[in-house]
Copies of this chain bind each other. A is one copy, B any other.
Amino acid sequence: MGSELEKWVLMVTARTPTNIAVIKYWGKRDETLILPINDSISVTLDPSHLCTTTTVSVSPTFDHDRMWLNGKEISLQGGRFQSCLREIRARAQDVEDEKKGIKIKKEDWQKLHLHIASYNNFPTAAGLASSAAGLACLVFSLAKLMNLKEDNSQLSAIARQGSGSACRSLYGGFVKWDMGKEDNGSDSLAVQLADEKHWDELVIIIAVVSARQKETSSTSGMRDTVVTSALIEHRAKEVVPKRIVQMEDAIQKRDFPSFARLACTDSNQFHAVCLDTYPPIFYMNDTSHRIISCVEKWNRAEETPQVAYTFDAGPNAVMIARDRKTAALLLQRLLYNFPPQSDTDLDSYIIGDKSILQDAGIKNMKDVEALAPPPEIKDNISTQRSKGDVSYFICTRPGGGPVVLSDESLALLDPLTGLPK
């Protein structure tokens, strides 16, 4: 960097997936460093349907760090952002862009300011782990901008300090967050168990459930659980360690029945310890319960699991079908039980990979109305087809990890001004 005020803007754009835990993270042993009380395992979701895109830029013309989320400027003052920025700047290296004639020495990063723009390709408020993808993308893109030598696993330990589950978004496929042993958190990081191609039959359908009540934030919720639940310690110390071993094995062997059983029981147990918290925390609602009943009834009728379900800190259901054929049958069942409201068109009710809808033989609303009750509920007269309980469904699959987008047209910041496009 020359001594005169130069006008250049250097930037990097990256895309990072969101992830869904199948063995749940709930409870911290260190609130500041975000160190968990147990290991967790997640599936990375295909970024073409659920991801965060972030552009980070640096310029000698920037006079303070700024960030925009979905086009709106937000504060970077929070401790978690500050932790990530501090940790990354501390590891920054020399950067040279010969084409643009830019040279940044590693010590310069402490003085240079950043502009960051981030965008989720899904509703931020829908409870779909937007902070996980967001923090992971922030860390990943800054690491590229500042030429860090750390690998993704080491970067995950930085992302973890922004948002615990963000560390699992540094890899695609199947990811384990090792809780680690060190007090400084250096060994609390993500490792990839298998990439997304290892088990590529799986199909994921997410039901975005309409919520009536504001939810307890996961940060305060898990703090309350650790302090008040009489069951959480037993879960963390006795139950989860065994399930982690079993889940790693199920993923390795692509053993769907074990995978499903573990994912469902661990989701249920996470919600059980929430209920055992005082005052109790309810994330699932009656619609969530009905989705579980629908899946359980079918699984029982088939005598082997067809679909796994898991719920994070909200009422949305993430369902994992064993293959495409099963996913089509699942979608039929979901549309039978939760048809869209009359003023909703099918195209906005089923989003993501719409080819599943074709596999299910559903082309329009008439096909939805004509759906027959699935055989496993034929004797059950009480089944209700209630409209409006689900806002929409997202069809997706396990996906890949973070990538740099080299196409400058995808950047969220203007390459000349460093301000949002």
On A, residues with C-beta under 8 Å from B are 212-214, 228, 230-231, 234-235, 238-239, 261, 264-265, 268-269, 271-273, 275-280, 282, 285-286, 289-290, 292-293, 296, 300, 382, 384
Contact = CB atoms under 8 A, between A and B. Distances in A.
A238 B229 CA distance: 13
Given A228-B265, A268-B275, A285-B289, 10 more contacts: A230-B265, A231-B235, A261-B278, A265-B278, A268-B278, A272-B272, A272-B275, A279-B292, A279-B296, A282-B292
Contacts of A265: 228, 230, 276, 278
A214 to B, nearest CB: 7
Question: 10 closest A-B pairs (Cβ-Cβ)?
Answer: A272-B272, A272-B276, A279-B296, A272-B275, A234-B234, A268-B280, A230-B239, A286-B286, A282-B289, A269-B276
A270 to B, nearest CB: 9
Name the residue among A213, A286, A296, A300 with the largest chain B CB count within 10 angstroms. Answer: A286
A382 B268 contact: no
A212 B384 contact: yes
A271 B278 contact: no
Total copies of this chain within the assembly: 2
Most buried by B among A234, A277, A382: A234
For the complex, would chain A's binding face be called helix, strand, loop or mixed by DSSP majority? helix
A248 to B, nearest CB: 18
A242 to B, nearest CB: 9
Nearest to A243: B230
B269 A230 contact: yes
Contacts of A214: 382
Contacts of A230: 235, 238-239, 265, 269
27 contacts: A212-B286, A212-B382, A213-B382, A228-B265, A230-B235, A230-B238, A230-B239, A231-B234, A231-B235, A231-B269, A234-B238, A264-B279, A265-B276, A265-B278, A268-B276, A268-B277, A268-B280, A269-B275, A269-B276, A272-B272, A272-B275, A275-B275, A279-B296, A282-B289, A282-B292, A285-B286, A286-B286
A210 to B, nearest CB: 12
Contacts of A286: 212, 285-286
A6 to B, nearest CB: 51
In the complex, which of the residues A235, A277, A280 has the most CB atoms of chain B within 10 Å of its own CB atom?
A280
Interface centre among A213, A276, A292 (most CB of B within 10 A): A276
Contacts of A292: 279-280, 282
Contacts of A290: 213
